[in-house]
Amino acid sequence: MSASPGVPFVPARGTRGARSGLPRSLVAVLALVLLIGSAACGTDSSATGSGQTGPTTAVIQNQDPVPIGPEPTPTLPATVRSFDGGEVTVTSSDRIIAADRYGTLAQTVWALGLGPKLVGRSTAAAFPAVAQVPNVTGGNGSLNVESVLALRPTVFLTDTTSAAPAVREQLKAAGVTVVYFDPQRTMDGVVPQIQAVAGALGVPAAGQALAQRTTDEIAAASAAVPEQDTPPNIAFLYLRSTAITMIAGPGSGADALIAALGANDAGTAAGLKEPFTAITSEAMISAAPDVLLVMSDGLTSVGGIDGLEKVPGIAQTPAGRNKRVIDMADSVLLSFGPNTGRVVAALSDAVYGARPA
């Protein structure tokens, strides 16, 4: 028997004749069998945990980080430990460049109340408030040293992945004050990152307040996630054209975000050992995700939902059969910055359905 997903089975017209030729009890039994059969051939609604089907875009209505208060007065100089192992003394935060591949550092500067001092950002820092702030990275996220120097920063915040060794040497030779941060983005790293940025900019009190607010927002968003009898299996997929398709596993950062949603990370549950593994039919079928979580630009790069279904193994998963794909803006989903609580809340609404107002 075949039935389109989500469309109830309708018996053929010839079935009406059975009423005059079969006992009522047998007709009832046959009707029950047909009903059960059509449900089995339809969407895997029970597999999605909430019964949700079809694609959804998770949205934060206003992506601008909310400043913790009025612009604070930095206490400088401040000497801090940079992630590259050295000690750095910051003497001025009048002209800040914050650039990393997730946009987290610029978000944090803005949320600390130091937005007016931000003179440069990365492509990934795409929230509306910084639209007019100069971008010092190319389309692929790599730093442009000339762009950095042209902005005459008094302090440059970046990470050890965004700045390749050759770039670090150029910045050092030019005398730029650079503080490097951990390039990993995880749920556990949200608060330490906020505090580290605040310390480097000489506003530790604002950092403590922002860290506490962010912690409270994450806790509240997680507590509001609807309880499920059977937690859904969610797989995060990293997509950059059909040539680069990967499924996340332990340590990806996405696993902690999925856990905050009260769900199981499908890649980890399937036994993957690496943060990201190239997608194969076997890997996807083994993971059997109920929901696929992707970045919006990544989804576009493979041709949308229709293109995603052509990636090996996707169509054979419960999520593929139900077209249960949730996308979220690249600059938001894995930034793990001061908006993290709002990200969890938006994803919860997308996975389980919006909560009543």
Task: Give pLDDT, residue 94.
Answer: 98
Dist CA 187 CA 260 (whole Å): 9
Cα angle for residues 153, 156, 157 (degrees, 5° grid): 150
Token pair, residue 100, equals 């990393």
Task: Give pLDDT, residue 36.
Answer: 37
Write b or e for each residue in 285-311: b if 16 or more Cβ atoms lie within 10 A of its Cβ, otherwise e: ebbbbbbbbbbbebbebbeebebbbeb
Instruction: State the pLDDT confidence band at 46, using cuts at 50, 70 and 90.
Output: very low
Question: One fold for both 46-62+226-352 and 78-202?
Answer: yes
- 308-334: per-residue pLDDT in tens? 999 999 999 999 999 999 999 998 999
Task: Give pLDDT, residue 69.
Answer: 98
Instruction: State the pLDDT confidence band at 356, using cuts at 50, 70 and 90.
Output: low
- 223-272: per-residue pLDDT in tens? 999 999 999 999 999 999 999 999 999 999 999 999 999 999 999 999 99
- Can you tell me the mean pLDDT for 280-309? 97
The CA distances from residue 260 to 6, 8, 75, 97, 223, in Å, are 29, 34, 36, 31, 9
Residue 92 has pLDDT above 80, yes or no: yes
Is the domain defined by 78-202 classed in CATH 3.40.50.1980? Answer: yes
Instruction: State the pLDDT confidence band at 355, using cuts at 50, 70 and 90.
Output: low
Domain ranges of the chain: 1-42, 46-62+226-352, 78-202
Dist CA 148 CA 70 (whole Å): 27
Residue 22 has pLDDT above 50, yes or no: no
The mean pLDDT value of the chain amounts to 87
Instruction: State the pLDDT confidence band at 357, using cuts at 50, 70 and 90.
Output: low
User: Are the beta carbons of 281 and 251 closer than 8 angstroms?
Assistant: no
Token pair, residue 123, equals 């492509």
Residue whose structure tokens are 């580290």: 196
- 178-198: per-residue pLDDT in tens? 999 999 999 999 999 999 999
| pTM for the whole structure | 0.84
Backbone angles phi, psi at 78, to 5 degrees: -130, 130
CATH architecture of 46-62+226-352: 3-Layer(aba) Sandwich (3.40)
